[in-house]
Amino acid sequence: MATTAELFEEPFVADEYIERLAWRTPGGGSRGGEAFDPKRLLEEFVNHIQELQVMDERIQRKVEKLEQQCQKEAKEFAKKVQELQKSNQVAFQHFQELDEHISYVATKVCHLGDQLEGVNTPRQRAVEAQKLMKYFNEFLDGELKSDVFTNSEKIKEAADIIQKLHLIAQELPFDRFSEVKSKIASKYHDLECQLIQEFTSAQRRGEISRMREVAAVLLHFKGYSHCVDVYIKQCQEGAFLRNDVFEDAAILCQRVNKQVGEIFSNPETVLAKLIQNIFEVKLQSYVKDQLEEHRKSDAEQYLKNLYDLYTRTTNLSSKLMEFNLGTDKQTFLSKLIKAIFISYLENYIEVEIGYLKSRSAMILQRYYDSKNHQKRSIGTGGIQDLKERLRQRTNLPLGPSIDTHGETFLSQEVVVNLLQETKQAFERCHRLSDPSDLPKNAFRIFSMLVEFLCTEHIDYALETGLAGIPSSDSKNANLYFLDVVHQANTIFHLFDKQFNDHLMPLISSSPKLSECLQKKKDIIEQMEVKLDMGIDRTLNCMIGQMKHILAAEQKKTDFKPEDENNVLIQYTNACVKVCGYVRKQVEKIRNSMDGKNVDTVLMELGVRFHRLIYEHLQQYSYSCMGGMLAICDVAEYRKCAKDFKIALVLQLFDTLHALCNLLVVAPDNLKQVCSGEQLANLDKNILHSFVQLRVDYRSARLARHFS
């Protein structure tokens, strides 16, 4: 059996168990050269099975015995648990009884304590009253003998006693106790001064605990506020040594904020009083020195200083908002700031507008002086208004043309300077204006910008530019108005950007918004009318220049040469010069405008250019070779028209090119050409007018074919 038990190994695997059994059986394997003996192995297996059965029975008996023992112990344990539960219930009942008894005793003790306190409190009061009477008698006798009054180390106890005696003395009649009341008041005052002096010395030594003790004693004295004043005064000693009073103030308040809670029982009140003292003394004096120096002599520096000082003061106020200053610290700090700046902010906008007006006028005058230009007045009312209305309706120059020598009288530097001044004015307005006055003040600044930038500078340049446009019949005229258009367009973009970036945030939620938008719309529309008028007259001048070129360069013999067989040129000299001129003007227009304005102006120029060429061709008679040369000219004009990149203009020249084919087509093919795609929709009179230009039109054959 022992051998059988040895074959069991953990973990148990049946196959390995059989292998180990066979290996240990003689003849069960090839060990030691022995031959395999199946009978012996079978016999061993049978014997081993019997041994296992015996082992199983033995183990089973042991298990049953253990189960019986376990059941017996479980019954005994359950019985023991029941007994313990009963014992626990008994103990819990005893505990409840004990708790009730303790509560009863505690109630009796508390009641007894209340009775003892009721007896002891009057006794203590009587003892204290007796002591006070004793001290009062010393004041009556005029000699202070008690140690509490003579020992300087007992100043705290003396202060408590004298404070109580002082209150008692105030209730006594003056006629009988005037002398003792005077002595008590004198001692009260002396102790108060000693305590304040002690507090001052402790503060200089940096003894926070001693300062706290003395402040606690002085809290019940009338001179407590004087103690706070002394503390505030000494805190500021040596605190303002740098040039930046605002940074010094912030550092001082930060330091005091950490310390004041350890000294005073009401730290928020003390810190608020310190801040009030800084604002009303240090800051107010500093602000006055900085502003009064330039208030009447230098408006620019005055406004810069006012903006800077107000900004730094409000920034300091924001830092102080982190401290505990009581319930409504926002209102408290706002009142302090208002008290400093009220006299400067009341008339701020008047100073701002006055400075902006003089500064803008100076910028403009300096510019015109640099150009040696005497600015002419643009009249209003009466005859000038009549001229303006006539000019708008007729587009004719009224009055003599002014030679501007190519000067646009628009300066981007001037514009940037004006916008920069206005931007700074808007920033100051935002910071310094009362919220209720902000939209109104911003509108006044905007009106100044409109007056000097739009009216005095841009509008004046447009008027001067209009006056400088020559008449359409002038020869070799220099057209500078497109340069005015280009610069005015750039300025409008800058003006609009400042309107959106700096004015809109100030008026976006007020009724002034619609007023500003309308004012902006009116001024832009007014200038657009003058720009349109100038562009139209400039286009007329361009067409006039083309007319002069054609009149000077185009000869009648160009289209009716004397020798039909000896024509060497591809297109006429007039065509070359006109196309060169047109290309320059197209490029200039593209450089002067942007967006849809380019296409609109080029379309108008292209239509007028086509009308000019159309009418020009109607003035000549064409031989067959002359007609070919006219077709070549129109082809060159059409190539020039492609530079416009306008479909309508190209279509007009395509049609004109098709019309010119009528000058050379054989009489028999006229009807076929006239019914072609490009000419079929044209009026017959137009077709007829071109056919009439042929030198052979009078021949009966041509007239018959066209009729």
For residue 694, the cross-strand partners are 622
Q: Is 173 helix (H, G, I), strand (E, B) or coil?
A: coil
Which residues, including other chains, have CB under 8 Å from residue 561's CB and lie 6 or more apart? 567, 623, 625, 626
Q: Within 559-698, where are the H helices?
A: 573-592, 596-617, 624-642, 647-660, 670-674, 684-691
Q: Is 621 helix (H, G, I), strand (E, B) or coil?
A: coil
Confidence label for 30 from pLDDT (cuts 50, 70 and 90): low
Q: Is the pLDDT of residue 2 over 50?
A: no
Q: Where are the beta strands (DSSP E) in 61-206?
A: none
Under a CB-based contact definition with an 8 Å cutoff, are residues 336 and 276 in contact?
Answer: yes
Q: CA distances (Å), 131 to each of 27, 128, 164, in order?
A: 122, 5, 11
Q: Is 404 helix (H, G, I), strand (E, B) or coil?
A: coil
pLDDT of residue 22: 79
pLDDT of residue 382: 42
The length of the chain in residues reads 707
Residue with the bigger pLDDT between 58 and 13: it is: 58
Distance CA 276, CA 297 (A): 31
For residue 622, the cross-strand partners are 694
Under a CB-based contact definition with an 8 Å cutoff, are residues 342 and 310 in contact?
Answer: no
pLDDT digits (tens, 9 = 90+) for 651-663: 999 999 988 888 8
Nearest to 438 by CA among 495, 521, 503: 503
Q: Which of 151-165, 374-388, 533-547, 680-694 has the lowest mean pLDDT?
A: 374-388
Distance CA 605, CA 649 (A): 9
Q: Is the pLDDT of residue 618 over 70?
A: yes
Under a CB-based contact definition with an 8 Å cutoff, are residues 387 and 398 in contact?
Answer: yes
Confidence label for 586 from pLDDT (cuts 50, 70 and 90): very high
pLDDT digits (tens, 9 = 90+) for 488-537: 999 999 999 999 999 999 998 889 999 999 999 999 999 999 999 999 99
Nearest to 516 by CA among 496, 534, 493: 496
The amino acid that residue 206 corresponds to is: G
pLDDT digits (tens, 9 = 90+) for 219-277: 767 767 888 888 888 888 877 877 788 888 888 888 888 888 888 888 888 888 889 88
Distance CA 443, CA 351 (A): 15
pLDDT of residue 545: 93
Q: Is 144 exposed, middle or buried (0-12, 13-18, 19+ CB in 10 A)?
A: middle
Nearest to 263 by CA among 208, 307, 313: 208
> Which string of b and e fits 592-621 if b means at least 16 CB within 10 Å?
bbeeebbeebbebbbebbbebbbebbeebb
Residue with the bigger pLDDT between 239 and 71: it is: 71
pLDDT of residue 391: 47
Q: Is 622 helix (H, G, I), strand (E, B) or coil?
A: strand
Confidence label for 622 from pLDDT (cuts 50, 70 and 90): confident
Q: Is 694 helix (H, G, I), strand (E, B) or coil?
A: strand
Q: pTM value?
A: 0.69
Rg over alpha carbons for the chain, rounded to the nearest Å, is 57
- Whether the upstream peptide bond of residue 11 has omega within 30° of 0, thus cis, is yes
pLDDT of residue 242: 75
Mean pLDDT of 71-81: 91
